[in-house]
Structure 1
Amino acid sequence: MSDSETHFDVIILGTGLTESIAAAALSKAGFKVAHLDQNAYYGGDEASLTLDELVQWADTRAADVDPEASAFAASQTAKFTSISHSHHVLPNSRQYSLSLTPSIIPSKGPLISSLIGSGVSRYGGYKLLERIAVFSSGEVRNVPGCKEDVFKSKDLSLVEKRRLMRFLMFASGEFEGKPELEGNESSPFSEFLRTKFSLKDDVVDAITYALAFCTFPSDPTVPALRRIRRYLLSSGRYGASPFLVGQYGGAGEIAQGFCRVSAVHGGVYILGRKILAVSASDSSDKSGFTVQLEDLEDKLTCDLLISSQDFVPPDLQSTTVPVLLSEQAGSDPPPGVARCIAIFDGPIIFPSSPSQQATTSSVDDKGTDEAETANSETQSKVDTAILVFPPGSLPEGSKTSAATVLLTGEGTMSGPAGKCIAYISLPVTNPDKSAEMLLKPYLHATLASVTESRSESEPHSLFSLFYLSTPPSIPSPQSFASSRVVVTCPPSNLLPESMDTATKNAETVFWEAVKALRPALSEGGQEDDTVESFWPPLEVQDEDEEGW
Structure 2
Amino acid sequence: MSETHFEVIVLGTGLTESITAAALSKAGFKVAHLDENPYYGGDEASLTLDELAQWADERTLSSSASEPSRYAAAQRAKFRSVSRSGSVLPNSRQYSLSLSPSVIPSNGPATSSLIGSGVSRYGGYKLLERIAVFDRLGKVRNVPGSKEDVFKSKDLSLVDKRRLMRFLMFASGEFEGKPELAGNETTPFPDFLRNKFSLKQDVIDAITYALAFCTSSFDPTLPALHRIRRYLLSSGRYGASPFLVGQYGGAGEIAQGFCRASAVHGGVYILGRKILSITHIELSSPPDGTEPAFSLQLDDLEDRLTADLIISSPDYVSPELRSIAGLLPPDTLDASQGTSSVARCIAIFDGPVIFPTSPSQQTLAGSEDPSLTSADADLPVESDAEPQSKVDTAVLVFPPGSLPGASATASATVLLTGEGTMSTPAGKCIAYISMPIDSQDSTPCSAETLLKPYLQATLSSVTTISTPPEALFSVFYTINGHRELYPRLSTADSSSRVLVTPPSSPLLPESMDDAACNAEALFRHAVHLLRPGQAGTVEGLWPPLENQDEEEDSW
In structure 1, what is the equivalent of residue 452 of structure 2?
440
- Evaluate the alpha carbon distance shift between residue 386 and residue 328 of structure 1 in structure 2; reply closer, same or farther with a 3 A threshold: closer
Q: Look up the SS of the partner of 1:545 in the other structure.
A: helix
In structure 2, what is the equivalent of residue 164 of structure 1?
164
Q: Look up the SS of the partner of 1:26 in the other structure.
A: helix
Give the TM-score normalised by the residue count of structure 1.
Answer: 0.92
Matched, 1:472 2:482: yes
In structure 1, what is the equivalent of residue 84 of structure 2?
85
In structure 1, what is the equivalent of residue 503 of structure 2?
490
1:334 to partner: Cα distance: 2.0
In structure 1, what is the equivalent of residue 105 of structure 2?
106
Task: Give the letter for the 2:538 counterpart.
Answer: V
In structure 2, what is the equivalent of residue 290 of structure 1?
295
1:499-543 Cα offsets, whole Å, 9 max, x none, are 10011000000000000111698xxxxxx9943321011112475
Q: Look up the SS of the partner of 2:400 in the other structure.
A: coil
CA contact (8 A) 2:333 2:504 kept: no
In structure 1, what is the equivalent of residue 235 of structure 2?
235
110-119 or 63-72, larger mean C-alpha shift: 63-72
- Evaluate the alpha carbon distance shift between residue 518 and residue 356 of structure 1 in structure 2; reply closer, same or farther with a 3 A threshold: closer
CA contact (8 A) 2:101 2:508 kept: yes
In structure 2, what is the equivalent of residue 340 of structure 1?
345
Task: Give the letter for the 1:494 counterpart.
Answer: L
CA contact (8 A) 1:9 1:520 kept: no
CA contact (8 A) 2:332 2:517 kept: no
Counterpart CA distance in 1 for 2:134 and 2:391 is 17
1:283 to partner: Cα distance: 4.2
Counterpart CA distance in 1 for 2:241 and 2:4 is 48
Task: Give the letter for the 2:405 counterpart.
Answer: E
In structure 1, what is the equivalent of residue 551 of structure 2?
544
In structure 1, what is the equivalent of residue 319 of structure 2?
314
Q: Look up the SS of the partner of 1:31 in the other structure.
A: coil
Q: Look up the SS of the partner of 2:444 in the other structure.
A: coil
CA contact (8 A) 2:141 2:356 kept: yes
Q: Look up the SS of the partner of 2:346 in the other structure.
A: strand
Counterpart CA distance in 1 for 2:75 and 2:248 is 24
519, 531, 539: which one pairs with 2:538? 531
1:97-128 Cα offsets, whole Å, 9 max, x none, are 00001000000000000000000000000000
Counterpart CA distance in 1 for 2:317 and 2:499 is 10
In structure 2, what is the equivalent of residue 366 of structure 1?
none
Counterpart CA distance in 2 for 1:342 and 1:330 is 29
CA contact (8 A) 1:348 1:382 kept: yes
353, 363, 366: which one pairs with 2:358? 353
Counterpart CA distance in 2 for 1:392 and 1:288 is 54
In structure 1, what is the equivalent of residue 211 of structure 2?
211
- Evaluate the alpha carbon distance shift between residue 443 and residue 83 of structure 1 in structure 2; reply closer, same or farther with a 3 A threshold: same
CA contact (8 A) 2:281 2:295 kept: yes
Counterpart CA distance in 2 for 1:239 and 1:478 is 40
**Structure 1 unaligned residues grouped into runs of 5+:** 358-373, 522-527
Matched, 1:459 2:473: no
CA contact (8 A) 1:471 1:490 kept: no
- Evaluate the alpha carbon distance shift between residue 439 and residue 536 of structure 1 in structure 2; reply closer, same or farther with a 3 A threshold: same
475-484 or 152-161, larger mean C-alpha shift: 475-484
In structure 1, what is the equivalent of residue 368 of structure 2?
none
1:281 to partner: Cα distance: 1.1
Counterpart CA distance in 2 for 1:400 and 1:328 is 25
Counterpart CA distance in 1 for 2:253 and 2:221 is 34
In structure 1, what is the equivalent of residue 61 of structure 2?
63
1:88 to partner: Cα distance: 1.6
CA contact (8 A) 2:53 2:88 kept: no
In structure 2, what is the equivalent of residue 21 of structure 1?
19
53-62 or 464-473, larger mean C-alpha shift: 464-473
1:546 to partner: Cα distance: 4.2
Counterpart CA distance in 2 for 1:129 and 1:70 is 39
In structure 2, what is the equivalent of residue 361 of structure 1?
none
CA contact (8 A) 2:330 2:503 kept: no
Counterpart CA distance in 1 for 2:493 and 2:292 is 14
- Evaluate the alpha carbon distance shift between residue 302 and residue 330 of structure 1 in structure 2; reply closer, same or farther with a 3 A threshold: farther
Q: Look up the SS of the partner of 2:508 in the other structure.
A: coil
In structure 2, what is the equivalent of residue 45 of structure 1?
43
CA contact (8 A) 1:325 1:509 kept: no
In structure 2, what is the equivalent of residue 299 of structure 1?
304
353, 368, 387: which one pairs with 2:396? 387
Q: Look up the SS of the partner of 1:11 in the other structure.
A: strand
In structure 1, what is the equivalent of residue 372 of structure 2?
none
Q: Look up the SS of the partner of 1:82 in the other structure.
A: strand
1:431-456 Cα offsets, whole Å, 9 max, x none, are 62111010010000000000012x4x
1:457-497 Cα offsets, whole Å, 9 max, x none, are 21111111111111332466534244311110121100000
Give the TM-score normalised by the residue count of structure 2.
Answer: 0.90
In structure 2, what is the equivalent of residue 363 of structure 1?
none
Q: Look up the SS of the partner of 1:180 in the other structure.
A: coil
- Evaluate the alpha carbon distance shift between residue 461 and residue 407 of structure 1 in structure 2; reply closer, same or farther with a 3 A threshold: same
1:326 to partner: Cα distance: 1.9
Q: Look up the SS of the partner of 1:355 in the other structure.
A: coil
Q: Look up the SS of the partner of 1:148 in the other structure.
A: helix
In structure 1, what is the equivalent of residue 31 of structure 2?
33
Matched, 1:194 2:194: yes
- Evaluate the alpha carbon distance shift between residue 113 and residue 459 of structure 1 in structure 2; reply closer, same or farther with a 3 A threshold: same
407-416 or 83-92, larger mean C-alpha shift: 83-92
Q: Look up the SS of the partner of 1:322 in the other structure.
A: strand
Task: Give the letter for the 1:118 counterpart.
Answer: S
In structure 1, what is the equivalent of residue 330 of structure 2?
326
Counterpart CA distance in 2 for 1:191 and 1:330 is 20
1:237-296 Cα offsets, whole Å, 9 max, x none, are 000000000000000000000000000000000000001011101442545111110000
Counterpart CA distance in 2 for 1:109 and 1:329 is 15
Task: Give the letter for the 1:415 counterpart.
Answer: T
In structure 1, what is the equivalent of residue 133 of structure 2?
134
Matched positions, count: 521
Counterpart CA distance in 2 for 1:207 and 1:529 is 42
**Structure 2 unaligned residues grouped into runs of 5+:** 286-290, 363-382
Counterpart CA distance in 1 for 2:130 and 2:173 is 24
- Evaluate the alpha carbon distance shift between residue 44 and residue 144 of structure 1 in structure 2; reply closer, same or farther with a 3 A threshold: same
Matched, 1:182 2:182: yes
Task: Give the letter for the 1:326 counterpart.
Answer: P
In structure 1, what is the equivalent of residue 531 of structure 2?
518
1:66 to partner: Cα distance: 6.3
Q: Look up the SS of the partner of 1:354 in the other structure.
A: coil
- Evaluate the alpha carbon distance shift between residue 280 and residue 356 of structure 1 in structure 2; reply closer, same or farther with a 3 A threshold: closer
